[in-house]
Homo-oligomer: A and B are copies of this chain.
């Protein structure tokens, strides 16, 4: 049986990965989506094993220790990571698996799965990205400047990806991602 495809969606902070990822879940319910592990507390309505695998800090550190995570990062005091087992089992079953993760994490996954399909989500323009980062809330100018500089650094990592998808409209971005998956299945290797 042919192995499934590992599909990674990433892109700079503020580009709308989460929104596109959620829209894709509705558009392509037959695709298997990786569930991240995290040490943060479940929010109202979040289910263990569905939205996240909720783990204690101790459990998470043990997962790191045992190399059970394809990638992980600490963000605002909490750990987030991609459990390796679920990804590998899904691929072995001949099914595709979709990961929506940060740019640095995606490059870590690429070291382990160079044959994966790496999609970089782009803002329509840098100005648009700035607006989105600013639009998030009530951050200070210094915070906005810092986030913007991180985002620009992340943009420079696009060269390591296979595809660039512009997030001008969510539906269009989803259609492009779906097209990439269909095309990759037609590829003669």
Which residue from B162, B178, B188 sits with its C-beta under 8 Å from A163?
B188
Once the chains bind, are B182 and A175 in contact (CB under 8 Å)? Answer: yes
Copy tally for this chain in the complex stands at 2
How far, in angstroms, from A162 to B180 measured CA to CA in the complex? 14
Once the chains bind, are A165 and B180 in contact (CB under 8 Å)? Answer: no
Contact with B along A147-187 (1 / 0, CB 8 A): 00000000000110111110000000001101110111011
Once the chains bind, are B183 and A120 in contact (CB under 8 Å)? Answer: no
Interface residues of A in 48-83 (CB under 8 A from B): none
Chain B, Cβ-Cβ closest to A161: B188
Q: In the complex, how many angstroms separate the beta carbon of A158 from the nearest chain B beta carbon?
A: 7
Q: Which size bracket describes the interface of A in this complex?
A: 20 to 34
How far, in angstroms, from A119 to B178 measured CA to CA in the complex? 18
Question: Across the interface, which residues of B come within 8 angstroms of A176, CB to CB?
Answer: 182-183, 186
How far, in angstroms, from A35 to B186 measured CA to CA in the complex? 26
Q: In the complex, how many angstroms separate the beta carbon of A10 from the nearest chain B beta carbon?
A: 13
Can you offer 10 A-B residue contacts whose CB atoms are under 8 A?
A: A161-B188, A163-B187, A164-B188, A176-B182, A176-B183, A179-B179, A179-B180, A180-B182, A182-B183, A183-B183
Report the 7 A-B pairs with minimum CB-CB distance, sorted nearest first: A183-B183, A179-B182, A179-B179, A163-B186, A180-B183, A179-B183, A164-B188
Known: A165-B186, A180-B183. 11 other contacts (CB 8 A): A119-B186, A120-B188, A163-B183, A163-B186, A163-B187, A163-B188, A164-B186, A176-B182, A176-B183, A179-B186, A180-B182
